[in-house]
Chains A and B, each alone.
Chain A
Amino acid sequence: GQNIDQPTEMTATEGAIVQINCTYQTSGFNGLFWYQQHAGEAPTFLSYNVLDGLEEKGRFSSFLSRSKGYSYLLLKELQMKDSASYLCAVREWTGGSYIPTFGRGTSLIVHP
């Protein structure tokens, strides 16, 4: 089983930087994903970490520390369209399958 924790809601200003944290406890860690989900739409993939360190992808970066059970998603140069829910998902290998389990999501509100 897993226990994934992330803040419920964050607000930030257009053009700023925001960091969304995710902590987890799992028995069979096999990667951590960040997804973005706009209201009423499907989650879209943002980033993937399986080894410790920082992965950078344009305005988005994600960091992982496996020993601390900790990840963050960093969003730079925020735009209004970045207002969405950001889901941390931890993947385990169990029952012969890779299983991503989602945290509750962080609702990010970007204001002018």
Chain B
Amino acid sequence: DTEVTQTPKHLVMGMTNKKSLKCEQHMGHRAMYWYKQKAKKPPELMFVYSYEKLSINESVPSRFSPECPNSSLLNLHLHALQPEDSALYLCASSQDGSEAFFGQGTRLTVV
């Protein structure tokens, strides 16, 4: 199994809603990442978890809250988002020294 699975694939939410993005991998990877990607731009790193601990937070606003319940799961909790937060949210995982595997992403639209 070399897959990273993200749900949902598409999400439309209002600015007062609370929602969560989910990411799952069963490759035994100990590093997991959240990236945000706007159209025609490269993925921008948001958070890194290493061995289930948050190791990197790239100055992301607190309306984005990551959570790593166990070594296979990574969540991104969303609250009070702005329309400019609309983007493709990508989850990735990697093992030390290996390439990062990406999920298919969640296309988020904030209205």
Contact = CB atoms under 8 A, between A and B. Distances in A.
**3 tightest Cβ-Cβ pairs between the two chains A and B:** A102-B42, A42-B102, A97-B55
Contact of A104 (B42, B45, B90, B100): B42
A42 B41 contact: no
Contacts, number: 56
B103 interface: yes
A103 B45 CA distance: 12
Given A94-B56, A100-B94, A100-B100, 11 more contacts: A33-B100, A40-B88, A45-B99, A45-B100, A48-B99, A95-B48, A97-B55, A98-B31, A98-B96, A98-B97, A99-B45
B contact patch SS = strand
Contacts of A104: 41-42
A44 interface: yes
Query: Most A CB atoms within 10 A — which of B41, B42, B105, B107?
Result: B42
A45 to B, nearest CB: 5
Interface string B30-72: 0101000000111111001010000110000000000000000
B96 A96 contact: no
